[in-house]
Amino acid sequence: MATAGKVIRCRAAVAWAVGKPLSVEEVEVAPPKAGEVRIKIVATGICRTDEHVLEGSFPNMDFPVIPGHEGAGIVESVGEGATSVKPGDKVILIPLPQCGECSFCLNPESNYCMKSHLSKSQCLLPDGTSRFSCKGKQIHHFLWVSTFAEYTVIPECVVAKIDAAAPLDKVCLLGCGFSTGYGAAINTAKVKPGSTCAIFGLGGVGLSVVMGCKAAGASRIIAVDINKDKFAKAKELGATDCISPHDFKKPIQEVLTEMTGHGVDYSFEVIGRVDTMVAALASCNMNTGVCVMVGLPPSGSMMSVDPMLLLSGRTWKGTLLGGCHMKDCIPKFISSYLEKKLNLDLLITHTLPIAKVNEGFELLRAGKSIRSVLLF
């Protein structure tokens, strides 16, 4: 491509400081160094995790930063030694690396790659530098993907090549929301046919858990949210019951226990609140119940639970990206989508140009969207 090896000037939504709206700016994007790939982003979803960045509740963040982590695009150029993709390939960016060599990548039960950036600063590329600048200032990366930029540079371990037939404005959801929720049911909880499930929080991620529970053959899928506007979509995707904690005087865990006899077989917290994490744990049955934490709690949160909840036999688990080995899972999800076995389109309620990125976040905050997809 004519741009290979050169700095590209393009648009990006920059978060200059905590609590400020995003600002769509012209940024400079340096060429990829060895082992890196530069990608033209075509479409990116807005996930609640991006809102956590803007409100300052995501751990270890450095500003200014270009957020976004649910993106799909086309490879523009590759750095020396990057061989898994080539210019022109359609790709999905993955916010959790998969080096393919470390003991966790090789273990089918784990997807937390040793190259992961979550415990350290995740706001610079692995060599400790940034490829973004704006108005003479260095701009930070987010989760090594920064998909709110028209062009982004990423290490090769966070890109998955996909079928050229895939529509990027739909399959971008595989970069986070869908894979996280669906994988939480299939890989992390390993939901069994005929089982009962409760899902707390019916955003793009929680509704993907509903889809995963349905695909696994759960017989009862109870969807829990304080926003009843989410119930119609939850039913369409497979929920058998929809309840709001606001409609009951007693705690929701007691309601769920009464509805199911002893509590559900699997519960999922997909909100990101400490109180609902404890309620989800107490909602699964005391012997064999499995509770999966999916929501991201505010940075620095601490929890207090009655140890008896676990001593009686419950299992409490967490999941990142639904336990998916993303480079392997994404091409399979794409095939299912193209064969019309997976309907991601139902999760997309709004499609907006990048210039309207703040409108997309307003819709999320107001509970009026499931997923908004931004287009460059």
By CB under 6 A, tell whether 198 contacts ligand CND. no
By CB under 6 A, tell whether 276 contacts ligand CND. yes
Closest contact distance (angstroms) between CB of 171 and ligand CND is 16
Residues 134, 14: Cα–Cα separation, whole Å: 9
Residue 296 binds which one of ligand CND, Zn ion, none, with CB within 5 to 8 A depending on kind? ligand CND
202 φ/ψ angles, rounded to the nearest 5 degrees: -115, 50
Among residues 53, 92, 113, 221, the one that binds Zn ion under rule CB under 5 A = 113
By CB under 6 A, tell whether 324 contacts ligand CND. no
DSSP 2-70: TTTTS-EEEEEEEB-STTSPPEEEEEEEPPP-TTEEEEEEEEEE--HHHHHHHHT-STT--SSB-----
Residue 159 binds which one of Zn ion, ligand CND, none, with CB within 5 to 8 A depending on kind? none
By CB under 5 A, tell whether 176 contacts Zn ion. yes
By CB under 6 A, tell whether 91 contacts ligand CND. no
Residue with tokens 């996930």: 47
Residues 276, 274: Cα–Cα separation, whole Å: 6
Q: Give the count of residues interacting with ligand CND (CB under 6 A).
A: 33
Closest contact distance (angstroms) between CB of 138 and ligand CND is 26
By CB under 5 A, tell whether 110 contacts Zn ion. no
Strand segments (E) across the chain: 8-14, 23-29, 36-45, 71-78, 90-93, 132-134, 137-139, 151-155, 159-161, 196-200, 220-224, 241-243, 266-269, 290-293, 315-318, 348-353, 371-375
Site for ligand CND in 328-367 (CB under 6 A): 364, 367
By CB under 5 A, tell whether 49 contacts Zn ion. yes
Site for ligand CND in 230-259 (CB under 6 A): 230, 245
Residue 67 binds which one of ligand CND, Zn ion, none, with CB within 5 to 8 A depending on kind? none
Residue 102 binds which one of Zn ion, ligand CND, none, with CB within 5 to 8 A depending on kind? Zn ion
Stretch that binds Zn ion, among 2-10, 35-43, 169-177, 356-364 (CB under 5 A): 169-177
Structure tokens at 193: 């046919």
Query: Residue 366: helix, strand or coil by DSSP?
Result: coil
Q: What is the DSSP letter of 280?
A: H
Site for ligand CND in 123-182 (CB under 6 A): 176-177, 180
By CB under 5 A, tell whether 99 contacts Zn ion. yes
Q: 304-312 long-range CB contacts below 8 Å, 24 or more apart?
A: 304/278, 305/278, 305/281, 309/281, 309/282, 312/286, 312/287
Residues 72, 177: Cα–Cα separation, whole Å: 13
Stretch that binds ligand CND, among 210-218, 254-262, 265-273, 355-363 (CB under 6 A): 265-273
Interacting residues toward ligand CND by CB under 6 A: 47-49, 52, 176-177, 180, 200-206, 224-227, 230, 245, 270-273, 276, 294-296, 319-321, 364, 367
